[in-house]
Amino acid sequence: MRSVFVALFLLIVLAGCATAPSQITNACAIFEQRNGMFNNWRKDAEAAQREFGVPVPVMMATIYTESSFQPYARPPRTKILGFIPWKRKSTAYGYAQALDGTWDRYRRETGRWGASRTDFTDAIHFVGWYHSTSNRQNGIALNDPYNLYLAYYSGHGGYANGVWRNNTAIQKAARRSANMAIRYEAQLRQCGY
């Protein structure tokens, strides 16, 4: 009987890990909603900041812009004849919307072979790693959420080649990410971060 309760408890804990927080526009609320012993997003974000030097609000804003904190987010499917579901536009998946190839590179370079795109701990670590790489390869300041997002979306080579310059959708998303980073930073100061 005891093992049934333990299994039920673990199932409830893990179920909470697989859903998006209900309040995603307030960083303090996000961290309050995910502050468990085994699922503590604030500690995960702080650990990524310590390792890569990317501010927590910047990483959180990237995830907000990419997936709205949905663990199983994917790009929509294209349609044949306007209604028959077909392939997806890319292999982006998870909190960070990491592409298959980029995720494989991340796991190879960091040695985190068991990392999962649907695990927030791994996703925020990935975002910190990616932004840190953008800093090294493209010279983008770690506290520049606008340009970090442009490089995140365009890829390091695409950013360097300026593929985003004539793409207003990417620029709009980068502004959204930058504005959310500013908002998250102000919120985190207020709640004693």
The pLDDT tens digits for 138-173 are: 999 999 999 999 999 999 999 999 999 999 999 999
The pLDDT tens digits for 169-191 are: 999 999 999 999 999 999 999 98
Q: What is the CA radius of gyration of the chain?
A: 17
Burial of 118 (0-12, 13-18, 19+ CB in 10 A): middle
- Predicted confidence at residue 37, as pLDDT, reads 80
**84-88 and 77-80 strand pairing:** antiparallel
Structure tokens at 3: 């093992």
- Predicted confidence at residue 16, as pLDDT, reads 44
pLDDT at residue 65 above 70?
yes
The pTM of this model reads: 0.87
- Predicted confidence at residue 11, as pLDDT, reads 42
Q: Cβ(132)–Cβ(153) under 8 Å?
A: no
Phi, psi of 98 (to 5 degrees): -75, 135
Cα angle 38-96-112, degrees, rounded to a multiple of 5: 60
Q: Cβ(58)–Cβ(142) under 8 Å?
A: yes
Cα-based distances in Å from 54 to 44, 87, 146? 13, 34, 13
